[in-house]
Amino acid sequence: MDIQSLTSNVEQLFDDLHNIVFYVKDIEGRYRLVNSALVRRSGHDSKDQTLGKTPTELIGSESGAVYEAQDQELFETGKPVRNRLEMRTYADGAMGWCLSHKYPLHSKDGKVIGLMGITVDLNMPDHTGRDYQDLSESIQYVRSNLGNRPTVQHMAEIANLSIYQLDKKMRKIFNLTAGQWIIQQRIDLACALLSGTDRTLSDIAMDIGYSDQSAFTRQFKNTTGMTPRQFQKRKN
């Protein structure tokens, strides 16, 4: 099978997967191969409108700059990114959680010449399943005590499980580790508070378990691609 045929088959495969965004970028961070899900979520009608563009050119400077910084780090270190928890904002204003994976592409002499990546949507968990019911007390504890900085250890103790056993169940239910899930809960609450209240950023940071505003802002930007202020302005 030649490279062109292989590329076409890979592209067709990912075009049929609507809950996965797939892309290949060159060393300048420009999209060279994308699937249909990326086109739709960036608010465009065809792949021709996305190819050759950087994330900033495609989705704007707020989120695009964060993804470009991630790409540059991969280009410089050659280290893949696995299971990065992110909240994406799409062209229609909808928001959704996903796990992002990026892998370097190498030339024959081992030089990094680009990257390949996917983001996988996180689906709603089955609240009626046995695994969820087994962890319901731990889950409710975290959601009710975010300001008290609940930890993975707290969750494990409430569920009477080891951290390894807890993570195994959490991955089965949410496709996340317990630590990732706690971050998700914090950011979800922060988004609600930023959209629906006039509380200060320092107050919101404390409400969701961060000891200072700068740590909250850093985590929020790393996860959502924008600062809390930028998010607030967009929602208001």
Residues 31-43: tens digit of each pLDDT: 999 999 999 988 8
Please compute the mean of the pLDDT values over residues 162-176 and round it to a whole number: 96
Cβ–Cβ under 8 Å, residues 113 and 107: yes
Residues 30, 96, 184: CA angle, nearest 5 degrees: 110
Predicted confidence (pLDDT) at residue 2 exceeds the cutoff of 60: no
CA dist list (Å): 41 to 34, 36, 59, 65:
12, 9, 9, 17
Range list of β-strands (E), the chain: 20-26, 31-34, 81-89, 95-106, 112-121
Please report the pLDDT score of residue 80 as a whole number. Answer: 96
Please report the pLDDT score of residue 235 as a whole number. Answer: 61
Please compute the mean of the pLDDT values over residues 108-127 and round it to a whole number: 93
φ/ψ bin of 227: left (φ > 0), alpha (ψ from -120 to 50), beta (otherwise):
beta
Please report the pLDDT score of residue 236 as a whole number. Answer: 60
Predicted confidence (pLDDT) at residue 1 exceeds the cutoff of 50: no
The most confident of the ranges 20-34, 91-105, 218-232 is 20-34
Cβ–Cβ under 8 Å, residues 68 and 54: yes
CATH code for the structural domain at 130-235: 1.10.10.60
The model's pTM is 0.84
CATH of 3-121, one of 3.30.70.100, 3.60.40.10, 3.30.450.20, 3.40.50.10800: 3.30.450.20
Q: Which residue has the higher pLDDT, 61 or 58?
A: 58
Q: 8-23 pLDDT, tens per residue?
A: 788 889 999 889 999 9
- What distance in Å separates the CA atoms of residue 210 and residue 107, rounded to the nearest whole number? 43
Q: Can you give the residue ranges of every domain in the chain?
A: 3-121, 130-235
Mean pLDDT of the chain: 91
